[in-house]
Amino acid sequence: MKPVIDHPWQLDIDAAWALQRELAAKVRCVEPGPIATVAGVDVAYAKDEMVLVASVVLLDAMTLEVVEAAEAEAAVQFPYVPGLFSFRELPAIMAALEKLSRRPDLVVCDGQGLAHPRRFGLACHLGVLYDLPTLGCAKTRLVGEAAEPASARGSASELVDGEAVVGRVLRTQDGVKPVDVSIGHRITLDAACDWILRLTPRYRLPETTRQADQRVRRRLAALG
């Protein structure tokens, strides 16, 4: 699978902010089409953050079984800057996506989507580049404030940043720390939360993220 939009990745911080602002205008919040397959992506670091290893898994949306998987490595060429996270991890993720034989109907990202200071987190960036439905499911917050959801699985509260509702804090299992869910591209917040609940029948994090994380660690160990 290849992106429908391409842009330089060898840029400085200021150029990245400018490009991000331009791409953010393309984000769409619409009801996604039929979803039969869901992909998950994750990245791990090797050699003291000199090398990135990315993993992409494709799950059957009904059974949550892995039907395809791919990994790829890429040299780090962008620093970790909160807010510009996607410029650091996407090159590796794109290399892994290129090895995927089919286009997923939805991609679950490990990080924020709209719940970002410029409303353009990793999930939005990936979604716009491939024109695919994407959502962000983050373990920790970047921006926004929210009330503590009730302790039962499925409970949620609005994630608000300034005047805007940028996402939802969702409890995926009874008593566990909730995750931050936000739209990436071509999906609605309600649909995004519905999918996260469908993908978390047993654990706090979605099966997509867990499978991708598991495989990326194994690949990292195999490298040495």
Partner DNA sequence: GCGACAG
Partner DNA sequence: ATCTTGTCGC
**Applying CB under 7 A, which residues contact DNA?**
42-45, 49, 80, 82-86, 110-112, 116, 121-123, 136, 138-142, 217, 220
User: Is the distance from CB of 109 to CB of 139 less than 8 angstroms?
Assistant: no
N- to C-terminal Cα distance for the chain?
Answer: 29
CB of 101 to DNA, least distance (A): 25
Q: Which residue, 16 or 61, is less far from DNA as judged by CB?
A: 16
CB of 196 to DNA, least distance (A): 13
CB of 28 to DNA, least distance (A): 18
> CA nearest 134: which of 146, 144, 143, 126?
126
6 is in an annotated binding site: no
110 is in an annotated binding site: yes
Q: What angle do CA 63, 60, 198 make, to 5 degrees?
A: 60
Q: Which residue, 36 or 81, is less far from DNA as judged by CB?
A: 81
Q: Which residue, 106 or 109, is less far from DNA as judged by CB?
A: 109
From residue 193, alpha-carbon distances to 19, 30, 182 in Å are 29, 14, 8
CB of 62 to DNA, least distance (A): 27
Tokens matching residue 211: 């499978």
Q: Which residue, 69 or 159, is less far from DNA as judged by CB?
A: 159
Phi, psi of 208 (to 5 degrees): -60, -50
Binding-site sequence positions for Mg(2+): 42, 110
Residue numbers belonging to the annotated binding site:
42, 110
